[in-house]
């Protein structure tokens, strides 16, 4: 905004001229990174994206997750999780005008040959196929080039107006990737993603990676989980709830779809855990949806 630009220009001018504390109309605050500029007793004005502008989803938030097909915008949900590349800015804006927050999905740890930036990945960073997804290959997250591409994807999220991001496949160290990835390297990569997202004013969710929740819960704003009830793993996500950060959980088990009694028991457990649970098709194409 124009006022923001003027305030920043004045602050920089005064700092360059040795301007400092209050008195005689000088600025009380100086510009540093994503800090704020203050003018006397006036309210702080954020200089750029970052923590001051960050969307922090609420514990128990209602959500919808659709990555394939024409997005159904009719659900009463606080948050929509949609594909970063396939979702036009107009759709994101439409959802936001209807009072939704929008999380944008992208894969941070796997190569998808159909993405528009696929040519940017060198063959040397492409590893083994993902189990169950033969058209995706694990990435060497130790590569500076991979990190650069992910920063560009975060920039795209900003350009499209996303409120947050869901970087997927951030647990390569626990899989057969074809690379010698260790837990420390995964932590470094995941924290890089979180930090870069926050610098851009984007909320960021930790996708699965149950083994590293204790180390990463402070870095991420919410969790996105698949099938923790099916595999009896939900207790491992409780550090997010303890910090009042939501767990956006999806279950795919056919019994939850076909058996209303089983689904009711699932939803009772989800409410008790304070998880935001959906029963969805594995393809995430809105073929059906049950919300707890």
Q: Are 272 and 58 in contact (CB under 8 A)?
A: no
Is the pLDDT at 48 greater than 70, yes or no? no
What is the DSSP pairing of strand 203-207 with strand 222-226? parallel
Domain count, the chain: 2
Whether residues 179 and 260 share a domain: the answer is yes
Q: Are 203 and 244 in contact (CB under 8 A)?
A: no
Whether residues 25 and 130 share a domain: the answer is no
Q: What single DSSP character describes residue 173? A: G
Q: Residue 224's domain is classified under what CATH number? A: 3.20.20.70
Q: What is the pLDDT of residue 285?
A: 98
Q: What is the pLDDT of residue 163?
A: 98
Whether residues 140 and 61 share a domain: the answer is yes
Q: What is the pLDDT of residue 244?
A: 98
Q: Are 34 and 16 in contact (CB under 8 A)?
A: no
The tens digit of pLDDT for each residue in 187-237 reads 999 999 999 999 999 999 999 999 999 999 999 999 999 999 999 999 999
pLDDT band at residue 52, thresholds of 50, 70 and 90? low
Q: What is the pLDDT of residue 53?
A: 77
Q: How far apart are CA 153 and CA 167, in angstroms?
A: 10
Is the pLDDT at 273 greater than 80, yes or no? yes
Q: Is 50 left (phi over 0), alpha (psi -120 to 50) or beta?
A: left
- Cross-strand partners of 63: 79
Average pLDDT, the chain: 86
The tens digit of pLDDT for each residue in 79-132 reads 999 999 999 999 999 999 999 999 999 999 999 999 999 999 999 999 999 998
The tens digit of pLDDT for each residue in 5-25 reads 333 333 333 333 333 333 333
Residue showing tokens 């926050």:
198
Q: Supply φ then ψ for residue 163, to 5 degrees.
A: -85, -25
Q: How far apart are CA 145 and CA 233, in angstroms?
A: 34
Q: Are 255 and 262 in contact (CB under 8 A)?
A: yes
Whether residues 38 and 164 share a domain: the answer is no
Mean pLDDT (whole number) for 142-170: 98
Whether residues 7 and 78 share a domain: the answer is no
Is the pLDDT at 180 greater than 70, yes or no? yes
The two tokens of residue 117 are 């930036």
Nearest 10 degrees: Cα torsion 34, 39, 40, 42? -90
- Cross-strand partners of 45: 37
Is the pLDDT at 27 greater than 50, yes or no? no
**Domain limits at 10?**
2-46
Whether residues 97 and 225 share a domain: the answer is yes
The two tokens of residue 84 are 């970063």
Please choose, from the candidates 183, 189, 194, the residue with its C-alpha nearest in 3D space to the C-alpha of residue 219.
194
Whether residues 123 and 159 share a domain: the answer is yes
Whether residues 42 and 59 share a domain: the answer is no
Give residues with Cβ within 8 angstroms of 83, minimum separation 6. Answer: 67, 68, 104, 105, 106
What is the DSSP pairing of strand 276-279 with strand 164-168? unpaired
Whether residues 285 and 204 share a domain: the answer is yes
pLDDT band at residue 28, thresholds of 50, 70 and 90? very low
Give the SS3 label for residue 193: helix
Whether residues 66 and 30 share a domain: the answer is no
Whether residues 110 and 38 share a domain: the answer is no
Give residues with Cβ within 8 angstroms of 203, minimum separation 6. Answer: 54, 55, 56, 57, 103, 163, 164, 165, 197, 221, 222
**Other beta carbons less than 10 A from residue 140's beta carbon:** 22
Whether residues 165 and 23 share a domain: the answer is no
Calculate helix-pair angle for 144-160, 183-199, nearest 10 degrees. Answer: 30
pTM recorded for the entire structure: 0.82
Q: Are 189 and 170 in contact (CB under 8 A)?
A: yes
CA 135 to chain centroid, in Å, comes to 23
């Amino acid at each position: 905004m124009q006022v923001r630009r003027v305030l920043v220009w004045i602050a920089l001018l005064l700092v360059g001229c040795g301007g400092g504390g209050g008195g005689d109309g000088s600025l009380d605050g100086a510009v540093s990174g994503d800090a704020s500029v203050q003018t006397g007793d006036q309210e702080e004005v954020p200089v750029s994206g970052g923590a001051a502008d960050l969307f922090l989803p609420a514990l128990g938030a209602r959500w919808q997750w659709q990555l394939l097909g024409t997005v159904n915008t009719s659900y009463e949900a606080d948050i929509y999780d949609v594909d970063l590349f396939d979702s036009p800015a107009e759709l994101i804006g439409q959802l936001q005008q209807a009072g939704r927050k929008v999380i944008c999905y992208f894969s941070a740890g796997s190569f998808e040959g159909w993405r528009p930036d696929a040519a940017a990945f060198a063959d040397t960073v492409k590893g083994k196929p993902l189990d169950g997804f033969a058209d995706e290959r694990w990435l060497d997250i130790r590569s500076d080039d991979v990190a650069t591409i992910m920063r560009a994807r975060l920039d795209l999220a900003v350009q499209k107006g996303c409120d947050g991001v869901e970087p997927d496949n951030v647990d390569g160290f626990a899989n057969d990737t074809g690379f010698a990835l260790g837990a420390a390297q995964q932590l470094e990569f995941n924290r890089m993603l979180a930090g870069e997202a926050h610098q851009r004013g984007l909320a960021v969710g930790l996708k699965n990676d149950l083994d590293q929740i204790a180390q990463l819960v402070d870095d991420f704003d919410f969790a996105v989980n698949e099938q923790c009830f099916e595999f009896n793993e939900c207790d491992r996500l409780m550090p997010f709830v303890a910090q009042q950060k939501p767990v956006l959980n999806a279950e795919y088990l056919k019994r939850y779809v076909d058996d209303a009694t089983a689904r009711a028991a699932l939803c009772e457990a989800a409410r008790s855990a304070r998880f935001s649970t959906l029963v969805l098709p594995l393809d995430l194409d809105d073929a059906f949806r049950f919300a707890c």
